[in-house]
A and B are shown apart, each in its own frame.
Chain A
Amino acid sequence: MDYFEPKTLREAVSLLARYGEKAKVIAGGTDVLVDMKFKEEPLCLVNIKRIPGMSYIREEKGSLRIGALTPIREIETSPLVRQKLPLLWESAHQFASLQIRNTATIGGNVCRASPSGETLAPLLVLEASAIARFSKGEKKLPFTELFLGPGKTLLGAKGLLREIEVPLPSKESRGTYLKHAVRGAMDIAMVGVAVLVTPDGGGKKARDVRIGLGAVAPTPIRAKRAEKALRGKTMARALVEEAARIAASESSPISDQRSSAEYRRWIVETLTRRGLEQSWKAVTGKEVDG
């Protein structure tokens, strides 16, 4: 196995250009090491951990910019994230164990592109973008287009994630991230649901609703039809229940050792309803009623 510790992004990207599919990028390593032990070693390992200046969280022009090598624990303990992006904070807080959070990076979680990746449904709902470096320059890739399938993103074999840009949601909005798993810590989500609700001025209607679903399709997805059913409408119980059913119908889960597809669909419905109710209550102080 060839092994490199590039010291600059340029060097890293040129290695990826040279080795293509044969190269594997390693950041925190909490997934890659397991693959190397139990599947196979790549022909070339590109360890980007020694590239300086890739771990940061800063606010700039209405967005939080998070370096790809920022450990999940840094996100969880950042007052800026807690205050400005509580939805992302919640997923970082529920992420695996303390030991893993100290090691795993947000860039690794994104590039791994696991449908159940803890931070992905929240980032999708927050309409984040991936800032990626290619040999010909940089591209801004919206999360809504980034994911192509399990383990596959628009980065392909030659792009390197540099930063995640998260636009700060409206001050009137509130988000909720709900995860369903048997064991609280360490467990991979059977279903993850991220909801962001923005009421209109009167506090009766939903000006904007975004729903992200994790672990129930080949990629994390937005439940677009459910969102549409609620947008501009009065948040009444029957409508919220209907939207939750629509969200379940938009999911396409598989059956595996963690749960059956049918069970996952039920959970999508339940968590979507709860997420909508909890977000609505948090932002308006009122229950969804009627």
Chain B
Amino acid sequence: MSLNIRLVVNGTRHRAKIEPALSLLDFLRDTLGYKGVKICCNTGECGACTILFDGKPVNSCVVLAADAAGAEVVTVEGLAEGDRLHPVQQAFIDTGAVQCGYCTPGFIISVKALLDRTRNPTAEEIEEAVSGNICRCTGYTKIVDAIQIAARQLQGPTGLTSKARS
């Protein structure tokens, strides 16, 4: 048995015929070719497959592809504008928050979701935002640095400072 679904990924419309048991992760990687979505634990514990589903970060490995019918999905491939990286991506490079890089797309998506919620995250909000993402190489200090730099970047030169907000 198969079903037809339509969805939008990174602004592009897709139609596909899928098996009902297919996970959104396998659908994005194998059917549509978005390899930036990483497969790792495949049980919803490591965060490597994090995507935005209607604006919210989810582990695509534990979401049915069928549930994405009618949804808007954003993967790491959808963040850069042409050659210009998203500020979160640039900050990860600038701080050296990447070692092997496998967990990075999931982190970047979690951080993008955080900075969509608030441009001025507290230390606690930063920790909460990435506590479902595991990095086994570098530790988290540089990742937290990257998040703070990206937040400042997105606030802009005349943007909010922590003083202005508090």
Contacts and interface: CB of A to CB of B under 8 A. Distances in A.
A99 B59 CA distance: 6
A186 B62 contact: no
B1 A33 contact: no
Contact of A1 (B21, B44, B56, B67): B21
Interface string B88-120: 000000000000000000000010010000000
Contacts of A37: 23, 42-43
Contact of A98 (B43, B62, B67, B132): B132
Contacts of B77: none
B20 A98 contact: no
A96 interface: yes
Contacts of A99: 44, 47, 50, 57-59, 110, 132
Interface residues of A, number: 27
Interface in A52-103: 73, 96-100, 102-103
B63 A29 contact: yes
If over half of B's interface residues share one DSSP class (helix, strand or loop), that class is named, otherwise mixed; here it is mixed
B67 A29 contact: yes
A118 to B, nearest CB: 14
Contact of A100 (B1, B66, B132): B132
A64 B67 CA distance: 28
Interface in B18-61: 20-21, 23, 42-45, 47, 50, 53, 56-59, 61
B7 interface: no
B48 to A, nearest CB: 11
Contacts of B43: 34, 37-38
A263 interface: no
Contact of A185 (B21, B58, B132): B132
Contacts of A26: 64
Interface centre among A5, A26, A184, A185 (most CB of B within 10 A): A185
Contacts of B1: 1-3
A148 to B, nearest CB: 26
Given A34-B62, A102-B57, A96 B132 contact: yes
A33 B61 contact: yes
A270 interface: no
A37 B43 CA distance: 9
Contacts of B66: 3, 5, 47
Contacts of B61: 33
B3 interface: yes
A33 B64 contact: yes
A161 interface: no
A100 B49 CA distance: 12
Given A41-B21, A98-B129, A186 B64 contact: no
B21 A98 contact: no
B100 to A, nearest CB: 20
A80 to B, nearest CB: 20
Interface in A32-52: 33-34, 36-38, 41, 45, 47, 49
Contacts of A73: 56
A103 B58 contact: yes
A151 B58 CA distance: 25
A41 B21 CA distance: 8
In the A-B complex, the 3 residue pairs with the closest CB atoms: A97-B132, A185-B131, A3-B20
Interface of A: 1-3, 5, 26, 29-30, 33-34, 36-38, 41, 45, 47, 49, 73, 96-100, 102-103, 184-186
Interface of B: 1, 3, 20-21, 23, 42-45, 47, 50, 53, 56-59, 61-64, 66-67, 110, 113, 128-129, 131-133
